[in-house]
Structure 1
Amino acid sequence: MEEQPQQEKHWFIKFVSNKYVWVLLFFCAWMLFLDNYSYFDHRVLDKEIDELEANKKYYQEEIRKDQENIKLLKNPDQIEKFAREKYYMKRDSEDIYIIEYEGDTVKKS
């Protein structure tokens, strides 16, 4: 009966002294920290993938908007409207007055 309690006391020592446990611990540490495909590298790569997917979504939306603008610009009246608004073009008999507000312009340093 006395041997049973002592074996229960030393189960941890037997567990830690087992070579398979050490190999398993070494393998886990290697895979988490040191390997080229480690867990931490995957976290960084996953963040980059998420960022790139967000950029992809943004640029796809911009492409869709530009395609709509191109469709509109096939009409000559829309081309004239775009040129007047964007490039301040005018007809010969017109004058253009550009009104700038304080918060609209970029200050030159």
Structure 2
Amino acid sequence: MKIVDTLKSYKYVSLLKNPFFLVGLLFVIWIIFFDSSSLLEQRTINAEIEKIEDNKRYFEKEIEKDKKAIKGLKSGDATEKYARENYYMKRENEDVFIIEFDSLPAK
């Protein structure tokens, strides 16, 4: 009997007996956790959107750098220099020596 008396003394016990409150509480729990567009799912989607936007900003910066490089390669001398450095192209009667360094540190 003491337990029943102590439960009656709390204000919120009558609220838990209210069917509208219980249905509303179940609805809120369903929306937060179980629905296909739940708040947890929305949080995951927003994190993914943020990551994709970061990638977009990175690639836009790379595009700008490439556009500047292309403008610089419009002249013949710059194109030749780029081809010789990156593709190891050579002129006629010329030898190209490629020197590679070991990536391991010396002991």
Coarse TM-score class (shorter-chain normalised): 0.7 to 0.9
Deviation at 1:94, TM superposition (A): 2.5
Displacement, 1:97? 1.2
Structure-2 residue corresponding to 1:9: 9
Q: Which residue identity does 1:13 align to in structure 2?
A: V
Q: How is 1:31-42 mapped onto 2 (pairs within 5 angstroms)? A: 31-42=31-42
In 2, Cα distance between equivalents of 1:46 and 1:78: 44
The one-letter amino acid of 2:26's match is F
The match for 1:81 is 81
Using structure 2 for the length normalisation, give the TM-score.
0.83
SS in 1 for 2:28: helix
> In structure 2, what is the equivalent of residue 21 of structure 1?
21
Provide the C-alpha distance between the structure 2 equivalents of 1:58 and 1:87, rounded to a whole number of angstroms. Answer: 26
RMSD: 2.2
1:95: Cα distance to partner?
A: 2.0
Write the distance in 1 (CA, Å) between the matches of 2:92 and 2:34: 72
Question: Aligned to 2:12, what secondary structure does the other structure show?
Answer: helix
The alpha-carbon deviation at position 10 of structure 1 amounts to: 5.0
- The answer to whether structure 1 residue 55 and structure 2 residue 52 are counterparts is no
Aligned residues: 100
Distance in 2 between residues matched to 1:10 and 1:16, nearest whole Å: 11
Could you tell me the percent identity over the aligned residues? 40
**Structure 2 unpaired stretches of 5+:** 1-5
Q: Distance in 1 between matches of 2:12 and 2:76?
A: 85
Measure the CA separation in 1 of the matches of 2:10 and 2:102.
Answer: 80
Poorly superposed stretches of 4+, deviation over 4 Å: none
1:77 Cα shift? 0.7
Unaligned runs of 5+ in 1: 1-5, 105-109
Distance 2:53 2:12 in 1: 48
Question: Equivalent residue for 2:100?
Answer: 100
